[in-house]
Structure 1
Amino acid sequence: MFICLAFHGEAIITKDVIGMEVLTEAVVRSILKKDKVKEWLVNPDTIITPSAREYLNEQKIKLVYTKDEQGLLGISKKNNEKNEINDTEEKKFIPKYIVKDTGGFFEKKPEEMTQLYGNELVLKNHPSILFRGKVDSLQSKILEIQVMADKNKCEKLVCELQEVLQYVRNILKAEVIKEATEEICLFGLLEEDIREMSHNPKKHIGVAHILPDYKMGEILIGLNTIRSGAREVELSSIPLNRKDITKSLNRLSSAVYVMMCRYLSGYYN
């Protein structure tokens, strides 16, 4: 039995960044679920990934390069009637998941992969996924300290932490929908205000620069954890090449440091 690259029942031709046909292992596996073949017909210009070639060898399937009168499909006349697919059917096929880096596809999402944008799949160690995980952890820590502040009846601190939480969520949203982040404005302070206060806390808040100590109490130490967490997220954003996000996170850590100084000064009492 012969089989073609452009089989449309379970798979489609994938293309690389320059538009050439690419035969991936995912395509081969998908088609072989329903059809047992001895030969695989491909166009001589087709790019065959190493994993696809290895899998075909394992299955003892011979690659046959051809450009006959049927074109790319390479279907012999005796099988033409069985495998013929018209343009209308081709247009109807839409893969459920597309692998971002290889152009392959899946009908069922593998456990080691996750969705990046829409139906694009990437491995779970992709820089964007690692970044989103760090943001998730930071949000968790903010909420934890909010609960602590609420128990200690620090209502002003609870409100300001809510502003910080929303700011972090807006950063995540900007990354997911590919939009620029907004200029920082937290608890009535603009970027220059935050910078000046974080660099000169003695002048503006009345306390010297802080070297955290356990005796300062769980809320201040919790705020310090938020500050250091913002730094970690900032570092994880660098591979994304999103300077606006990196800058926003840098300013966020400074804003949380201002909160630490304010807490030590009794501002939230």
Structure 2
Amino acid sequence: MKVLTEAELRARLKKEKTDELIVNSNIIITPSAREYLNEKNIKLVFEDEVKQASSKPDNQKHKEDKEERFVPKYICRYTGGYFDDKPEHMTQLYGNELVFKDHPSIVFRGKLDSLQSKILEVQVMADRDKCQKLVDEIQEILRFVRNILKAEVINEKIENISILGLKEEEVREMSHNPKKHLGVEHILPDYKMGELVIGLNAIRSSVREAELSSISLERKDIIKALNRLSSAVYVMMCRYLAGYYN
């Protein structure tokens, strides 16, 4: 069964201008694609609806065209009810669809938000110490996390994991054998290692927390991406102690 994503919509609508999009009745429309259509005020029409409309008498079609279609501002995912104002205990999951704030996806997104905050804190430390090489790699880590968030929000699969210029197998091998690849033994974090190593370790711990919260989403690609990310941050800790960033 075909899935229509926001990315496909954007590419398609760059080439054509329309206020109505007709699609096959069996196609799956991702939430982000529906939201994009709403933003552009493009009506989504399924082929079955077109066939049914063509078979109706002209006077009935004219009557239906005059009727104003009600579009609720917010819809409750659990009951299908609607709201004019968003309740404080609820938040948007996809588009105008509301869920409670303890929904697994919302909890996961919160963990990624906290993780990004920690990453930025350590990046400020690295910049203060004029460790530009580390600043650049932390920026790559930040982009990686934001791409994971994007993949969860638009329901796209994460493919071909690559980070720090390494393939996922290389990241895993390096984190398992730092002595062989970086010349340092496995790390048991200690305050004497310095502020940046301890900061990187805090990032690694936050990645692990995010990974645990992702399990309920049943997204093996996200779990794998976060697993490799924690390994990559551990590699960065070893690199720092090996003098890689000097």
Correspondence for 2:209: 232
Question: Higher Cα Rg: structure 1 or 2?
Answer: 1
Choose which of 145, 151, 154 in structure 2 pairs with 1:168: 145
| Kept after mapping to 1: 8 A contact 2:116/2:145 | yes
Q: TM-score, normalised by structure 2?
A: 0.73
Gaps of 5+ in 2: 1-62
Structure 1: distance between partners of 2:233 and 2:72: 45
Structure 1 runs of 4+ with >2 Å offset: 86-91
Choose which of 107, 112, 121 in structure 2 pairs with 1:144: 121
Question: Is structure 2 residue 239 aligned with structure 1 residue 266?
Answer: no
Structure 1: distance between partners of 2:68 and 2:224: 44
The Cα offsets for residues 229-259 of structure 1, whole Å up to 9 and x where unpaired, read as 1000001111111111111000100000000
| Kept after mapping to 1: 8 A contact 2:164/2:232 | no
Choose which of 73, 76, 82 in structure 2 pairs with 1:105: 82
Aligned length: 184
Correspondence for 1:197: 174
Question: Is structure 2 residue 124 aligned with structure 1 residue 179?
Answer: no
Gaps of 5+ in 1: 1-85
| Kept after mapping to 1: 8 A contact 2:179/2:185 | yes
Deviation at 1:90, TM superposition (A): 6.1
Correspondence for 1:217: 194
3-state SS of paired residue (1:258): helix
Structure 1: distance between partners of 2:222 and 2:191: 32
Q: Which has the higher helix share?
A: 2
The Cα offsets for residues 203-247 of structure 1, whole Å up to 9 and x where unpaired, read as 100000000011111100000000111000001111111111111
Deviation at 1:183, TM superposition (A): 2.3
**Pair 129,227 (structure 1): closer, same or farther in 2 beyond 3 Å:** same
3-state SS of paired residue (2:71): coil
Amino acid at match of 1:119: N
Alignment of 1:46-195 (within 5 A): 92-195=69-172
**Pair 124,92 (structure 1): closer, same or farther in 2 beyond 3 Å:** same
Amino acid at match of 1:231: R
Deviation at 1:182, TM superposition (A): 2.9
Choose which of 203, 218, 232 in structure 2 pairs with 1:241: 218
Root-mean-square deviation (CA, aligned residues, Å) is: 1.3
Q: Which has the higher contact order (CA 8 A, sep 6+)?
A: 2
Question: Is structure 2 residue 231 aligned with structure 1 residue 251?
Answer: no
The Cα offsets for residues 143-179 of structure 1, whole Å up to 9 and x where unpaired, read as 1100100010110000000000000000000001110
Amino acid at match of 2:236: M
Deviation at 1:88, TM superposition (A): 5.6
| Kept after mapping to 2: 8 A contact 1:142/1:226 | yes
| Kept after mapping to 2: 8 A contact 1:183/1:248 | no
Amino acid at match of 2:138: L
Alignment of 1:12-27 (within 5 A): none
Q: TM-score, normalised by structure 1?
A: 0.66
Indicate the larger mover: 193-202 or 90-99.
90-99
Over the matched positions of the two proteins, sequence identity in percent amounts to: 73
